[in-house]
Structure 1
Amino acid sequence: MKRNIVIASVTAAALLSGTAVAVAGTQSSSTGAPTTHTTNASGTTTRASFSDAAHAALKAVPGTLDSLDRDHGRWDAEILGKDGKWHEVTLDGSNAKVLNQHIDRDTDAEDAAEAKALRNADISATEAARKAASSGTVTSVEFDGDRTPVWEVETVKNHKERDLNVNAQSGKVTQAPSDDDGDDD
């Protein structure tokens, strides 16, 4: 069912933009999320999707995805590894191949609290991305376990950014509060 929703979302986006695309979906065993490969009319792959990048990052470092952000042609992932350590993985934005990975040795008490909240989340990063995908292309997902644990999801549709929160327990999607304090956070 979820795979059909993803395929339908990609197809709808293609129809709205007038772009010819072909989509192939497979079920990922490590994340449970469908991975998609988008091919343009000339037959070349255009860019790795959130699902592609999440799958590749978790294959490189088994554990729990804490954040995944597309920036400057790359995907940057933070993973709480099964070894209990925080890992950073950088992936190529076009094919999701791992470019770099290392253990984050600069951790503190706040990271320990984040790890605990992340382990207690009922909704994963990939599930949060799926829930927010109807609002556009997912470009960033980050866990925030400070107060009420939520996934902060950024989507882009028609060149407009939209910030959403996905409750880490219930999966309810809400509009993120605006950042009106002028500090560009």
Structure 2
Amino acid sequence: MKRNIVIASVAAAALVTGGTAVAVAGTQSSSPAARSASPAAASTGASLTQAADAALKAVPGTLDSIDRDHGRWEADVLGKDGKWHEVTLDANGKVIDQRVDPDDSDPEDAAEAKALRNADVSAVEAARKAAPQSTVTSVEFDGDHSPVWEVETVKNHKERDLTVDAHSGKVTQAPADDDHGDDDSDDD
């Protein structure tokens, strides 16, 4: 019981101070190594930066996107081998699945890869620029027109979508989605 109160207090303090670490819910391990880690690290799991580093260690290359989904980190990496890789990490940043993307034969992928390789700002740098006082939940490269990083953040329970220019690092508010409730389920 005392441990839960301490963990809750540390998590609350981190949120109140507006730290730049990515706050995510996770489960605490009962291993001796986990117990010796700091309470904040044990309660929040891996930060976006830690998950990105682990994904790039598993697949050397350039990070294309990373997001937190159902308690896991999902990362797409353009490997040094020229192939697109999907890397799944657990809440603590440990790689639990890694595979070559089976849908990487799209001709648009070559243009996306070139734009991604030419970006001056990395995914992690874009996250830091977009949300110095917020929680980043997703970073994704968009090289369709002018290359930008699409960054989703949460602060005080409010979600914001920002874009970060892949060359200058300039942060702007993303245009509002105009999907009017469309959930992309029209391919019945």
Question: Which runs of structure 2 are paired with 1:13-162 in the superposition (5 Å)?
Answer: 14=13, 17=16, 39-40=38-39, 44-93=42-91, 95-107=92-104, 108-162=106-160
Change (3 A) 1:52 1:167: same
CA RMSD, Structure 1 to Structure 2 (Å):
2.5
Q: How far has the Cα of 1:159 moved from its partner?
A: 1.5
Specify the SS of the correspondent of 1:134: coil
Specify the SS of the correspondent of 2:42: coil
Specify the SS of the correspondent of 1:164: strand
Per mean C-alpha deviation after superposition, the further-off stretch among 166-175 and 152-161 is 152-161
Cα deviations by residue, 1:53-85 (Å, 9 ceiling, x for unpaired): 000000000000000010110000000000100
Identify the residue that residue 30 of structure 2 maps to in structure 1: none
Q: Give the conservation status (yes or no) of the 8 Å contact 1:132–1:153.
A: yes
Structure 1 or 2: more strand by fraction: 1
Flag structure 1 segments of 5+ consecutive residues without an equivalent: 1-12, 24-37
Q: Give the conservation status (yes or no) of the 8 Å contact 1:53–1:96.
A: yes
Q: How far has the Cα of 1:135 moved from its partner?
A: 4.6
Change (3 A) 1:59 1:16: closer
Q: How far has the Cα of 1:158 moved from its partner?
A: 1.4
Q: How far has the Cα of 1:14 moved from its partner?
A: 3.5
Change (3 A) 1:18 1:86: closer
Q: Give the conservation status (yes or no) of the 8 Å contact 1:39–1:46.
A: no
Q: How far has the Cα of 1:39 moved from its partner?
A: 4.0
Larger of the two Rg values belongs to structure: 2
Moved over 6 A (4+): none
Change (3 A) 1:56 1:16: closer
Q: Distance in 2 between matches of 1:18 and 1:122?
A: 31
TM-score scaled by length of structure 2: 0.75
Question: Which runs of structure 2 are paired with 1:167-182 in the superposition (5 Å)?
Answer: 167-182=165-180
TM-score scaled by length of structure 1: 0.76
